[in-house]
Amino acid sequence: MSLDLEKQIASLSGDIAALHLTLDNIGAYVYIKDLQGCYTYVNKMVRDLFACPLEEIIGQNDSKFFSIAHSDELMVNDRLVMEHCQTVEAEEKNIIHSTGEIRYYWTVKKPLFDEQGQVSGMYGISTDITERKLLDIKLKENEKLLDTVLNNVDAYIYMKDRECRFRYINASTAKLFGVQPEDIIGKKGEDFLPPETAADFAILDNKLLATGEKVSGEESFSDGKGNTQYYWSTKVPIKDEQDEISSFIGFSNDITELIALKKNLEVKANTDELTQLANRRNFIDQAEKEFIRAKRYHLSLSLLAIDIDCFKEINDTYGHHVGDQVLREVARICAANLRGADCIGRMGGEEFSVLLPETSGEAAKIMAERLCQRIRDHQLAGPWKDKIKSTVSIGISEMQAEDDDIDDLLIRADKALYKAKQTGRDRVCS
């Protein structure tokens, strides 16, 4: 053998050794298979994975090392390469026979060709992504769990960025808005909500962005059909490493029934149950405010004290249930003949009061005379012998410069009412 040939062989042997060393330390699983799927080469990482020396691996197929029944994509991908001459880049899942360990890889497989250009086998390079894959699986499990909780909790939950664009909404919020969640991600409220609703939601959003603190308050949503829902919302900022708000999460609970109950209780607290007029407390509250306004702006103000004449006789003759009907009818007639700004209330028993803003004593007298006439002309029919006719006596007082509060008008109106009673009833006195 010539010296040059020996040098070439030595050089080639060195190159092969260097190649083996490189492949053994490349940080990936490198292997070659023949057309029967048997290994003809594996690097050190494959040998370590199978926990076998090279001679026990060469000539064996994957069924010796993997649970093929649970890793069928191995065989599928190999056939695509060797039978269809395709390059495959895909994720593969392996279950190691010797340990039962599940491993995940990102694999690239390509065909090998002989001198005639025919596929003679394949080579593959697989990178272990097990740790990343398990984290991804765990993350997806947690996301599924979180989605299950958020989509079934009895609350509207959503996330917005610092520009108030939606980043997330749960199923309840999507149903409320009448959209699919993916349809509004990246959008602001004004992009798909009625202007007044978007403006209402923006109040708490802007307060949170301005203060950087958690905020809570009442919000409302109208469906455009005249139906309004009310919510108690809490919004919590999420801050970045620079302590700047990057986004915020909102939690809203439907309080529509509570609001309706509250309003109903307020109405009951301020309304006379029998006549549906303002009760005494409510009337006095409104009268005090109107008195202050009239004083401040030097406006006229008058008050009527109304009492049903001979009401005890009606109760004694027909019974209290008929007396209640008379009270309701008198209240209805009075209310129907007042202006929108006027206020009427039942003060107790058969007595009513009417507050007449921006009304002089003379104008109040005309109003009082009209009420007397309307009630005098009305007859209450029912399952009794004769129709019931009622009359009222009315006392008038007009605000004076020296008056200190609404009580001064009430006292003078009561005195005028007493005068009307004493001088024959069914009349107006001041």
What confidence tens digit (pLDDT) does each residue in 96-110 have? Answer: 877 788 889 999 999
The arithmetic mean of pLDDT across residues 175-204, rounded, is 88
Annotated active-site residue 196? The verdict is: no
pLDDT at 4 over 70: no
Q: What is the DSSP string of 129-191?
A: -HHHHHHHHHHHHHHHHHHHHHHHSSSEEEEEETT--EEEE-HHHHHHHTS-HHHHTT--GGG
- The Cβ of residue 418 has, within 10 Å, a number of other Cβ atoms equal to 15
d(CA 372, CA 47): 111
- Please say whether the beta carbons of 233 and 158 come within 8 A: no
Which residues touch 387 (CB under 8 Å, ≥6 apart)?
379, 380, 381
d(CA 39, CA 37): 7
**Whole-number mean pLDDT of the chain?**
89
- Structure tokens, 270: 């301020």
pLDDT at 417 over 60: yes
Interaxial angle between packed helices 280-297 and 256-270, expressed in degrees from 0 to 180 and rounded to the nearest 10: 80
d(CA 312, CA 314): 5
Selected residue with higher pLDDT from 22 and 244: 244
pLDDT at 426 over 90: yes
Return the pLDDT at 12: 62
φ, ψ for residue 110, nearest 5 deg = -135, 155
The arithmetic mean of pLDDT across residues 79-92, rounded, is 92
Q: Which helix (H) or strand (E) holds 7?
A: helix 3-24
- Please say whether the beta carbons of 265 and 253 come within 8 A: no
Selected residue with higher pLDDT from 151 and 370: 370
**Any idea which residue has 């053998």 for tokens?**
1
Contacts 24+ apart (CB under 8 A), 177-185: none
Q: Which helix (H) or strand (E) holds 89?
A: strand 88-95
Contacts 24+ apart (CB under 8 A), 61-64: 61/33, 61/36, 61/37, 62/37, 64/97
Q: Pick the catalytic residue: 141, 350, 358, 402?
A: 350
- Please say whether the beta carbons of 122 and 111 come within 8 A: yes
d(CA 57, CA 31): 11
pLDDT at 1 over 60: no
Which residues touch 217 (CB under 8 Å, ≥6 apart)?
203, 204, 207, 232, 233
- Structure tokens, 326: 């008379």
Model pLDDT for residues 266-317, shown as the tens digit of each residue: 888 899 999 999 999 999 999 999 999 999 999 999 999 999 999 999 998 8
HEC profile of 304-366: EEEEECCHHHHHHHHCHHHHHHHHHHHHHHHHHCCCCCCEEEEEECCEEEEEEECCCHHHHHH
Interaxial angle between packed helices 311-318 and 320-336, expressed in degrees from 0 to 180 and rounded to the nearest 10: 140
The arithmetic mean of pLDDT across residues 146-170, rounded, is 86
**396: closest CA among 286, 278, 300?**
300
**61: closest CA among 129, 118, 122?**
122
pLDDT at 82 over 60: yes
Burial of 84 (0-12, 13-18, 19+ CB in 10 A): exposed
Q: Which helix (H) or strand (E) holds 207?
A: helix 195-211
Model pLDDT for residues 202-218, shown as the tens digit of each residue: 999 999 999 999 999 99
